[in-house]
Structures are given as structure tokens and as C-alpha cells.
Chain A
């Protein structure tokens, strides 16, 4: 089932929970529904990003080729050039700007089609803005970072070695179950960024349905118990209405 998380209104979070820790991103929204596009660009600007809007596929294609964007939000069904063709054409022109596909069709096979066309992520409509924002920030950061994955992640005094599968905090080893390790690995890979529950389910468990209950929360709270217990500064933070974030508490 396409995941939709009940979310508190994003305006609550914007000021406090998405601070300007990320440099402002340039985002292109290709969406033919004027109201939805206005809502998106306004919301992106409110959290400190720069957002442009293209009302159809051809204009979106032209802008995406010319402009230096950090991420594209592309509606699947667009006039003049549909979203999948737009992304495919960009990839053929070697434009590798990360693209997130928005679609009213939310099914698994549809998602596969979208990713096969060169999309980097897929979000079924209707969506919570916090979900979209978290995904876009992860996408844009992925491009900006160094090409190779580092072998160790470090957040504060927490250290994760991807080769030896060892986790230590303050020099003290923390034994983790394999799944807990992957959960922590994903959180640390995107340290400082918000990851949503559905992102965790997709990337750690490789399922795209909505588990309907707070299964992810329980996993995270268990992990948190192992990581943060007995330490003064918590590293794993719950972002209300959005998801989780691992960051050095000192910041």
C-alpha cells in the first residue's frame, strides 16, 4: 500500500526542525496543476530553498537542461511531454540532476517503471510535504557528496565501521543485531538529515507498503536505547510529524 504517514502540519516544523543546516538548494518543480505547484514552491521557499516552476514537460525539460538545479520534482502526467519521457531525455543528454517522481498512480509496478526511466525516487500522491522534503534533501545531498561511500561514519562520538560491522560510542563497543546495524547505517549515512519512516522501511527492509502500525518506531526506540542510553547527549532525534534524524547533539 502506498505509504502515507499522518503528519502534523509542516509549518509547525519548518522553523524549528528544518533549520538552515543545509545550504539552500535550487529545486525545479515540474507540475501542471497550478495550485499544487504554487503550494510546493511556496513551501520549499519557506524552508529556505530556491524553487522554480515549469508548467509543462517541454518547459521543464528546457529549464532542467539549462538551469543548475540540485533536484527536480517531476509530476508523472504532464502536458506536451510526460514526466517519465522528460527524465529519460535528460538522462540521454547526460543531465544527472536527481529527480523525484510524483504520481497519482501509486502502485509497485508503476514505481518500478518510474525508477527504470531514470528517476531517483518516487512518491505517490497525495503526499505529506515533510515526506517530500526529506526525500528531496537526501537526493540532493547524495549528489553533492563524494562519489565513493566512506568505510566509516562518524556522528559526535559515535562511530560505525561498515567493513568490520563494528559500532562504538566513546570508544565503547555496542553490539547490534544485523538489522539494527543497517538501520543505524542508513541513519548515519544521512546524518543531519531527516529520514521518514517510509524511507527507513524502503531502504532498510526493502518494502514499499505501509505497515499501518508503529513498527518502525519500535525498531528506532530499541536502537536508541542501545546508542543513547547512559550518554548525556542523545544522537537519535525524533522529528515530530516527519521522522528521525541522527545528529551531533552539540549542534
Chain B
């Protein structure tokens, strides 16, 4: 692409061109309007002068005779700035006047028109004039006219003004357009250059932001914010894949070791069968772990938000509580449910239901108060509630167990976080991470609070 071609292809230059055409048309229109009005004015003046003169001369003729008329005409013709006069007989024979020559036939037709005439008889330049012919009683013809040279001159002036302004508009417009375009193009080229290095892999690069705060600066600032966000996501993604790699490798290694062990030392079909069964169990566990991780990743990516509907929090709590109640009773615990009506929110019943189920699951596992010797003294006393708190809906699962110390709560919601004492019990340490992700997806949050004693998990969601 040539430099000129590139210039022409820019939006700024095209806009400049369009403006140029519009302004030229506008200037032409204004000048044309002025010229037309001025011409009308000049004609009107000439017409009224002729009217007055022809009236006066006709009066002279009526008062005296043809002699008096000729006298008047000759006197007037000598005055400075005189009009044009011609008096002829009915046959067209010239009696008096200051017009050299006119087109034949003009003098025979009464009325007003624009004609060409000459001041002297022989070969002078023809000029334009507005004339009026009157037939006097007795057949004499009287012609009075005004030279239109002023109008001609005015037209010339206007035409020249139009030419100059057009030239000026084009030159200044092109210069301005070129200047602006070059300025914009330079900045856009700089931005393009930076984005190219960023695309090449240097994610730390940022676009230059000027001090003027104009549209290009705002664009650059927004692009920078976008790059920051992309950077964050990339970092997050890397962390997640590191975690996944680490936490899938542990059970995979166990799986592999067990298989190897069976191949090496198993002697009879029963032993092989036992090894295969434990392998199957181990791989099912792996699949569940993998699914849980995928689920969290998907929720964090926000993809499920498309399926949101209006959900009643009380119904979710009642449903899941009803599902878990027998299990809690089986464990020797109690479940107290309290809900209030009208707790609807915009979200996913399935995801929130799963979060409530995870929280209840945790409460069953860790909510029992241990006796001094480490064995559960009694079953977990669990309370679950759905309630309104301002414009938010809160789902609260509380237990009376040992709880989580304040300083460990932030860690508890991290992926794979298994706090001290939890390692010996089943679970992946993903329940609270999922709960946090689901809360964020709904524009809410998961809070872990002290139930004194025990843990209180509060899922706070914006109400519908």
C-alpha cells in the first residue's frame, strides 16, 4: 500500500473529503442565493426608474407636442448617469435619443424586455439593457431603458468569489484532513505496533495512554484494562492446571502402584479380582474428582449463567434438607430447618441445591463435637435456614462442631484445602470452593462465620 493510498483509506481522511464536498455545495448555494437576490434588486430598481421616466416624458408629450418631448429627451440624455432614450416616428424613423443601434423591430412592440444595444451606430460592443417601449398618441414611439452593466459586473464579482472560496475550501480542507489523518494514523500505528508485540506473546506490554483523555486515549485505557483481565485469567488458569496436575497425579500414582503390585505379587484369580475391583473403585474416585474440578472451572467461567431462572430459596433448602434428614438422623444428629416465604432469586436451582448439599455434607462430617478421646460424643446438631437480609437472600448452614479458626477460614475455601483433622475423612476438599464459585456466579458470596461453637456457612445471594 502506498503512503497516499494508506492515507486515503483512513476514516479521518474520508470524513474530511465528505465535509469538503458538503462545504463547497453550501458555499455555492449561498453565493447563488445572494446573486439571484441582487439581480432581482437591480432589475427592480431599473424597472421603477424606467416607469417614472416614461411617465414624465409621456406627460411632456401630452402637455406640449412632439417637439417638447424631443427637447426633454435631449436635455435628459445629457445629464450624468442618464437613462437610454429613443424617439421615433410610427415608421421607425429616428427623431432623437442616445442609443446608437438596437435590434430591428424592438421599437414597434410596446412593453418591457431585455435587449442588446450599442451606444454608437458603427460596430460598438453590444450591451444589455432593460427597455420599455410606449406608443404615443399620433403614432410616435418612445423607448426608455436602463443599461444593465452593473448587473453584469456584479455577476462577474460573484463568480470570482465562488471560484476563490471553492479553491480555498479545497486547499484548506485537504491540508486540514491530511494533518488530522496523519496525527490519528500515527497514534493508531503506534497502538497497532504495541498490540502486535503483545500478540507475539509479551502479555506485559501496555498501550501508551496520552494525557488528553480523548477517544483514542479512552480506547487505549480500555484495551489496557482488558489486557490486565486477560493476564489475570491466564494466571488463574495456570494455577488451576498446576493444581489439577498435582492432585490428579497423587491418585493416579496410587492406581498405578496398586496395579503394578497386583501384577507382581498376585497368585490366584481371587487376588487378581480384588486388585481389579479396587482399581475400578479408585478410577471411579478419580472420575468424581475430575468432574468436581471441571464443574468448578465451568462455574467460574460463568457459562451456566445462561440457564438461570427464578428459584425459590426456601424450596431449595426444604428439598435438600428433606433429602439429608434421614442421613443425619442415622448419624445420631438433628436437623432444624427454618424458612420464610417469598425468597426468590435469579439463578440455578441445580447449582445452589448442590452447594446446600455440600454444606450439609460438611456439617455431617465435621459438625459432631468430639469427646476428649477423639470419638464423636454425639451426632451433629445442624441448623439450616433460608432468610432475607436486606435485599439479599441468605442460606445458612450451621453446626455445633469444632468449627474453623478465623485465621484458617480463607484457606478453607481454596481448592483441595483439607484442614487439619480432615485428612483422615473422605472428601476432596472441593465442596467449599464450589460453593464460593457458585456464589460468585450468582453475584453473591460465601461467608464462613463462628457459630460459637461450630461453623456457620452463609451463602448470600442477591434477591430477585
**Residues of A that sit less than 8 Å from B by CB:** 1-2, 4-9, 106-109, 112, 124, 126, 128, 179, 205, 207-215, 218-219, 222
- The stretch of B86-94, B140-148, B283-291 that contacts the partner chain: B283-291
Any A CB within 8 A of the CB of B223:
no
**Bound complex: CA of A226 vs CA of B327, how far in Å?**
17
B303 / chain A contacts, CB cutoff of 8 Å: 107, 109
Q: Which of B268-316 contact A (CB under 8 A)?
A: 276-277, 280-281, 284-285, 287-288, 291-292, 294-295, 298, 303-304, 306-307
**Bound complex: CA of A6 vs CA of B286, how far in Å?**
11
A210 / chain B contacts, CB cutoff of 8 Å: 288, 291
Is the Cβ of A218 less than 8 Å from the Cβ of B288? no
Which residue of the partner chain, among A1, A7, A212, contacts B284 with CB atoms under 8 Å? A7
Known: A211-B357, A215-B324. A9 touches B276 (CB 8 A): yes
**Residues of B that sit less than 8 Å from A by CB:** 276-277, 280-281, 284-285, 287-288, 291-292, 294-295, 298, 303-304, 306-307, 319-320, 322-324, 326-327, 330, 348, 350-351, 353-354, 357-358, 361, 364, 427
Is the Cβ of A108 less than 8 Å from the Cβ of B348? yes
**Bound complex: CA of A205 vs CA of B321, how far in Å?**
11
Which residue of the partner chain, among A6, A106, A215, contacts B291 with CB atoms under 8 Å? A106
B357 / chain A contacts, CB cutoff of 8 Å: 207, 209, 211-212
Which residue of the partner chain, among A4, A108, A109, contacts B287 with CB atoms under 8 Å? A4
Number of A-B contacts (CB under 8 A): 83
Nearest chain A CB to B333's CB is how many angstroms away? 12
A9 / chain B contacts, CB cutoff of 8 Å: 276-277, 280
Q: Can you list 8 A-B pairs with a CB-CB distance of less than 8 A?
A: A1-B288, A107-B294, A107-B303, A207-B353, A207-B354, A209-B353, A209-B357, A215-B326
**Bound complex: CA of A108 vs CA of B308, how far in Å?**
11
Which residue of the partner chain, among B307, B324, B326, contacts A109 with CB atoms under 8 Å? B307
Known: A109-B304, A208-B350, A209-B353. A7 touches B280 (CB 8 A): yes
Q: Which residue of B lies closest to A220 (CB)?
A: B326
Is the Cβ of B281 less than 8 Å from the Cβ of A215? no
A112 / chain B contacts, CB cutoff of 8 Å: 307
Nearest chain A CB to B240's CB is how many angstroms away? 17
Instruction: Kindly list 20 other residue pairs between chains A and B, CB separation below 8 angstroms, not including A211-B323, A222-B326.
Output: A2-B291, A4-B287, A4-B288, A5-B284, A9-B277, A107-B303, A108-B348, A108-B351, A109-B303, A109-B304, A124-B291, A205-B319, A209-B350, A210-B288, A210-B291, A211-B361, A215-B323, A215-B326, A215-B327, A219-B326
**Bound complex: CA of A222 vs CA of B326, how far in Å?**
8
**Bound complex: CA of A2 vs CA of B326, how far in Å?**
23
Most buried by A among B276, B281, B330, B350: B350
A109 / chain B contacts, CB cutoff of 8 Å: 303-304, 306-307
Q: Which residue of A lies closest to B357 (CB)?
A: A211
**Bound complex: CA of A124 vs CA of B303, how far in Å?**
18
**Bound complex: CA of A6 vs CA of B281, how far in Å?**
6
**Bound complex: CA of A9 vs CA of B307, how far in Å?**
36
Known: A107-B304, A211-B357, A212-B361. A126 touches B287 (CB 8 A): yes
**Bound complex: CA of A160 vs CA of B306, how far in Å?**
40
From DSSP, what is the main secondary structure of chain B's interface residues? Answer: helix
**Bound complex: CA of A229 vs CA of B17, how far in Å?**
94
B323 / chain A contacts, CB cutoff of 8 Å: 205, 207, 211, 215, 219
Is the Cβ of A108 less than 8 Å from the Cβ of B307? yes
**Bound complex: CA of A207 vs CA of B361, how far in Å?**
16
A209 / chain B contacts, CB cutoff of 8 Å: 350, 353-354, 357
Q: Which residue of A lies closest to B354 (CB)?
A: A209
**Bound complex: CA of A4 vs CA of B284, how far in Å?**
7
Q: Shortest 4 CB-CB distances between A and B: which pairs? A: A209-B354, A218-B326, A6-B284, A218-B327
**Bound complex: CA of A1 vs CA of B285, how far in Å?**
13
**Bound complex: CA of A108 vs CA of B348, how far in Å?**
10
A211 / chain B contacts, CB cutoff of 8 Å: 323-324, 357, 361
Nearest chain A CB to B275's CB is how many angstroms away? 12
Is the Cβ of A8 less than 8 Å from the Cβ of B350? no
Nearest chain A CB to B349's CB is how many angstroms away? 8
A6 / chain B contacts, CB cutoff of 8 Å: 280-281, 284-285
**Bound complex: CA of A2 vs CA of B303, how far in Å?**
16
Nearest chain B CB to A117's CB is how many angstroms away? 16
Is the Cβ of B288 less than 8 Å from the Cβ of A108? no
Is the Cβ of B322 less than 8 Å from the Cβ of A179? yes
Is the Cβ of B291 less than 8 Å from the Cβ of A207? no
Is the Cβ of A8 less than 8 Å from the Cβ of B288? no
A7 / chain B contacts, CB cutoff of 8 Å: 280, 284
Most buried by B among A124, A211, A214: A211
Q: Which residue of A lies closest to B281 (CB)?
A: A6
Nearest chain A CB to B298's CB is how many angstroms away? 6
Q: Which residue of A lies closest to B322 (CB)?
A: A179
B304 / chain A contacts, CB cutoff of 8 Å: 107-109
Is the Cβ of A1 less than 8 Å from the Cβ of B350? no
B280 / chain A contacts, CB cutoff of 8 Å: 6-9
Which residue of the partner chain, among A1, A128, A212, contacts B295 with CB atoms under 8 Å? A1
Is the Cβ of B277 less than 8 Å from the Cβ of A1? no
Q: Which residue of A lies closest to B307 (CB)?
A: A109
B330 / chain A contacts, CB cutoff of 8 Å: 218
Nearest chain A CB to B157's CB is how many angstroms away? 77
**Bound complex: CA of A1 vs CA of B438, how far in Å?**
13
Q: Which residue of B lies closest to A2 (CB)?
A: B291
Q: Which residue of A lies closest to B365 (CB)?
A: A213
Is the Cβ of A1 less than 8 Å from the Cβ of B292? yes
A179 / chain B contacts, CB cutoff of 8 Å: 322
**Bound complex: CA of A133 vs CA of B349, how far in Å?**
29
Nearest chain B CB to A2's CB is how many angstroms away? 5
**Bound complex: CA of A7 vs CA of B358, how far in Å?**
22
Most buried by B among A1, A2, A107, A126: A1
**Bound complex: CA of A20 vs CA of B127, how far in Å?**
123
Nearest chain B CB to A128's CB is how many angstroms away? 8
**Bound complex: CA of A112 vs CA of B308, how far in Å?**
12
Most buried by A among B295, B303, B306, B364: B295
Q: Which residue of B lies closest to A214 (CB)?
A: B327
Q: Which residue of A lies closest to B358 (CB)?
A: A212
Which residue of the partner chain, among B294, B353, B354, contacts A106 with CB atoms under 8 Å? B294
**Bound complex: CA of A73 vs CA of B373, how far in Å?**
54
Which residue of the partner chain, among A126, A128, A208, A213, contacts B364 with CB atoms under 8 Å? A213
Nearest chain B CB to A200's CB is how many angstroms away? 11
**Bound complex: CA of A179 vs CA of B325, how far in Å?**
12
